[in-house]
Amino acid sequence: MPPLKLLCLHGYTQSGPLFHAKSRALIKHLTKALQPTHAVTSVYPTGPIHLDPADIPGYEPSSTTEGGSTDASSTDAYGWFRRSNTANPPLYSGLEDGLEAIAKVLTDEGPFDAVIGFSQGAAMAAIVASLLETGRGQNLERFLDAGVACQGTEFTGVPGFKVPGVWDEVRKVQPALRFAVCYSGFRAPGPRYRGFYEPGVSTPVLHVLGSLDAVVEESRSRALVDACVGNPEEEDRVVFHPGGHFVPSQRPYLDAVVRFVKETLAGDEAEKKGVMDEDVNDMDLPF
């Protein structure tokens, strides 16, 4: 069976093993539904930023040192970046580290076929899919000019985000992803990050959102939906579940992911067949 290798990116304050546990039903359902046409495998890296207790909303320390202070190393919470609470426009501190960590996974354990992410991991999933699209590198270079990045916004003098140079090497070994699934995803706001999303993310993306999500506001998720080419809602690429900030494991929402994946893979195969037919028709046959 041809492989279908998935890169799975956890949310803020989670880790690779924790996201593996929380998405087990999804991967099991995908694996069963895609047999015998594809062999599904998944990789769950952990973000490079080890979070301190102060970074974790509602954190209550479970242990203290002899002096009575909290042992920050006891937290099993990680992120791909931290959002600055004071920067205007918004700034994702440590995003370079997050992207370099993912680049290493793509290089060492890839190539991958698709990416699945939750919350901050879903934001990263959309960015990763974007970075691997043809021509995205040149587009990001254009937005490094502050005038281009800030055009049409209230800001001035803010250049676009500089992607770590290692991504130039990643693109040599990792092709564009076939699809992405974003649970409670959101768009990185402000002029710094426009290069990721404009003129549009062309990778097929399924957005799964909680109607009662109190962590990621719907407007933030809608901004990511709007950054994807086409009309995701009319194309059944936006799915709401009647819950909050989590990966739903109920059958209808697992089936929605399976349906999206199957349709995307079928479209890829049809496109490949069309290219092969064209190549054959163009050959100089000796008869």
**Of 265, 105, 116, whose CA–CA distance to 173 is shortest?**
105
Helix/strand/coil for 54: helix
Instruction: Decide: residue 283, CB within 10 A, 0-12 exposed, 13-18 middle, 19+ buried.
Output: exposed
pLDDT tens for each residue of the chain, 287 residues long = 889 999 999 999 999 999 999 999 999 999 999 999 999 999 999 999 999 888 887 766 655 544 444 554 568 999 999 999 899 999 999 999 999 999 999 999 999 999 999 999 999 999 999 999 999 999 999 999 999 999 999 999 999 999 999 999 999 999 999 999 999 999 999 999 999 999 999 999 999 999 999 999 999 999 999 999 999 999 999 999 999 999 999 999 999 999 999 999 998 666 665 544 455 455 554 43
Residue 70 token pair: 């909290």
Dihedral (CA of 111, 114, 118, 122) sign: positive
Fold assignment, 3-282: Rossmann fold (3.40.50)
Distance CA 135, CA 286 (A): 38
Q: How many degrees, rounded to 5, is the angle at CA 264 between CA 279 and CA 35? A: 100
In the chain, domain spans: 3-282
What pLDDT digit, counting tens, does each position of 31-85 carry? 999 999 999 999 999 999 999 888 887 766 655 544 444 554 568 999 999 999 8
What pLDDT digit, counting tens, does each position of 158-182 carry? 999 999 999 999 999 999 999 999 9
Q: State phi, psi for 18 to the nearest 5 degrees.
A: -70, -40
Residue 206 token pair: 């399924």
pTM of the model: 0.90
